[in-house]
Structure 1
Amino acid sequence: MPEVVPINSAHKDSPSTRLLDALGAGNSSTRLQAALVAGTDADPGLVDALVARCAVEPDFFVRDMLTWALTRLPPEVTVPRLLSELRSGRAQPRSQALHTLSKIGDRTAWPAITRSVLYDADDEVARSAWRAAVVLVPPEARNGLALDLAAQFGRGDRTVQLSLSRALVALGDEIGPALRTGLASRDPAVRAHARATERLLLDPDAGFEPAVDEAKRVVALGPERAGGTAC
């Protein structure tokens, strides 16, 4: 793999050095353009610089372009480097690495999506893990993944719950046993989230907010008193 040219090397005026400088520029538009150039050139020697920038980049659009640039590189170069980020003590490197892995879609990364990753205490990392998991999971592990995801029914705010529901819905009809476990929970928040996910599975166009509100009404009143609308 070609080496990234150090910024302070004798080649300080080389195109690679100028690109590295631009990736760390104070202006977000400059960083965005640099990430675009990096993806267009698709130089594997930039993988370390791109991953390192993902770990600290504050701008959403620049991070998205950095992810695109990484997807343009060979998976055998990017995937090992991204997997090393999952051991970071900071949330952003873990979250961004998982997001990028989901975009690359290389299933050799699946063994790294452990329960500790799926249950990460940071909501943004967990959300990225759920999205990556449903892309990377092999067929024989889909049922187990559904159970691991459903065990987190009731977690977080509406945004977090929607991410979890979408991940489960992406697994399709195989989530039946996991849904039944959630629907049988003694925790009303868990039951409401499971029921909202069930409704979303049956009607993806229904929208999550109405599904949550209806689910809470059913949980509070019972299917019969709620008008028989529960599935």
Structure 2
Amino acid sequence: MLIGDVARRSGVSTRMLRHYDALGLVRPTGRTVGGYRQYSAEDVRRIFHVESLRSLGLSLKQIGRALEDPAFTPSALVSDLIQWTEDRLAREQELLERLRVIDASAPTGWQDVLRVIELMRELNSTSAARRQQAVLTPPEDTSVPVELLVGAVLAESDPHVAGALRWALARTGGEGVAALAAAVGSQDVEIRRRAVLAIAEMPREPKAVAVLADALGDPDATVRERAALALGAHGVAAAVPALVGMVVEGSHDVGAAEALGTLSRDPACAERIQSALADALVAPTADSATRIRLTQALVELEGTTARTMLRHLVHDRDPAVALVASALVDVVDRRADENTAGPHGTPAEI
């Protein structure tokens, strides 16, 4: 079979077939009287073998070794090819994300593109100080694209730089909530934690509140707690069970109690909180330390029911709980007196 026929049947160009011949990779078995290359059926099969290995990303040198060296095993080479391909895909994904950030910044000229590239370079610096400076003082006439901020805050491990990034995101007016919401569903728990924390520090918006409410069911305790504290600060009653649970567990219990105090300003929510705390106080699993934390949480609540519960706890069977309740009753009573007193310390007129 002449080279033209082989090219048509195999799909390999005559130029590439000549290149294979020059490398000794696929040499035709014979020549015609006129000196033209003549390929046998075995030669054609070898061409197909070469093309199959090329499709896996092997170099022609590697293909030659694979076909000629009986001791050449594919396992190690295939593993190397997998690693090389994964690295290449990661580089291409990084390039794609960089291009999307530039596109989202709506550049009007190449100078705008260069400024965004410089900003990306600074945010990828190994120096935390330089990364923080890039956020706080971006290049002149350059606003940091929201997509770039979101990507940076999800990758940032330095707490100071992360704080600056969240501050910058909060100033965008909630534009990054959608991108952060997608990150809350990440398989990486660190990304979920960073995403929820960033959303918690952004202005209250229906989308942000909905994302945080969904995060209350996250398998990670840190994600749940951050979402609960943010929702409590925003007055969202759905956070009550999680906040009470934080008090019971002693995890950020002071912040949780303060959030419950904020929620208790709503009378309907206050009743729900007091009921949840009362149930936790009499739970069989509640030890002395847990009941003291629950007692301390009562002082944060609005309304008279919490005062009544504290007075009841003054006579608790646990001396430690009774002592704490007694001290807190005095605090609550003084606070009530101050709220009802006039501007000179006299009772206000009703």
Specify if TM > 0.5.
yes
The answer to whether structure 1 residue 131 and structure 2 residue 223 are counterparts is: no
Please tell me whether the aligned partners of residues 99 and 131 of structure 1 are also in contact (alpha carbons under 8 angstroms).
no
- 1:105 alignment partner AA: P
Report the equivalent of 1:210.
none
Change (3 A) 1:90 1:42: farther
Normalising to structure 2: TM-score of the pair?
0.49
Instruction: Tell me, in whole angstroms, the C-alpha distance in 2 between the residues paired with 1:177 and 1:42.
Output: 53
The answer to whether structure 1 residue 161 and structure 2 residue 253 are counterparts is: yes
The answer to whether structure 1 residue 196 and structure 2 residue 293 are counterparts is: no
- Flag the structure with larger Rg: 2
Instruction: Tell me, in whole angstroms, the C-alpha distance in 2 between the residues paired with 1:39 and 1:71.
Output: 19
The answer to whether structure 1 residue 79 and structure 2 residue 173 are counterparts is: no
Instruction: Tell me, in whole angstroms, the C-alpha distance in 2 between the residues paired with 1:155 and 1:98.
Output: 21
Aligned residue pair count: 203
Instruction: Tell me, in whole angstroms, the C-alpha distance in 2 between the residues paired with 1:61 and 1:39.
Output: 20
Deviation per residue, 1:125-167 (Å, 9 max, x gap): 23321222124455xxx2x43234214432255xx22232232
Deviation per residue, 1:174-214 (Å, 9 max, x gap): 23222222222222254232112113447xxxxxxxxxxxx
Name the % identity.
Answer: 21
Report the equivalent of 1:35.
135
Report the equivalent of 2:241.
147
Normalising to structure 1: TM-score of the pair?
0.71
Please tell me whether the aligned partners of residues 83 and 112 of structure 1 are also in contact (alpha carbons under 8 angstroms).
yes
Please tell me whether the aligned partners of residues 232 and 259 of structure 2 are also in contact (alpha carbons under 8 angstroms).
yes
Change (3 A) 1:224 1:190: closer
Instruction: Tell me, in whole angstroms, the C-alpha distance in 2 between the residues paired with 1:37 and 1:29.
Output: 12
Instruction: Tell me, in whole angstroms, the C-alpha distance in 2 between the residues paired with 1:179 and 1:79.
Output: 33
Instruction: Tell me, in whole angstroms, the C-alpha distance in 1 between the residues paired with 2:151 and 2:325.
Output: 54
| Structure 1 vs Structure 2 CA RMSD | 3.4
The answer to whether structure 1 residue 118 and structure 2 residue 219 are counterparts is: no
Please tell me whether the aligned partners of residues 122 and 131 of structure 2 are also in contact (alpha carbons under 8 angstroms).
yes
Instruction: Tell me, in whole angstroms, the C-alpha distance in 1 between the residues paired with 2:324 and 2:167.
Output: 47
Moved over 4 A (4+): 38-42, 222-231
Unaligned runs of 5+ in 1: 203-214
Greater RCO structure (CA 8 Å; 6+ sep): 1
Deviation per residue, 1:35-80 (Å, 9 max, x gap): 1135996747x222211221221211111110011112242x3111
Instruction: Tell me, in whole angstroms, the C-alpha distance in 2 between the residues paired with 1:227 and 1:151.
Output: 20
- 1:107 alignment partner AA: E
Secondary structure, in 3 states, of the residue corresponding to 1:104?
coil
Please tell me whether the aligned partners of residues 153 and 161 of structure 1 are also in contact (alpha carbons under 8 angstroms).
yes
Secondary structure, in 3 states, of the residue corresponding to 2:155?
coil
Instruction: Tell me, in whole angstroms, the C-alpha distance in 1 between the residues paired with 2:274 and 2:325.
Output: 24
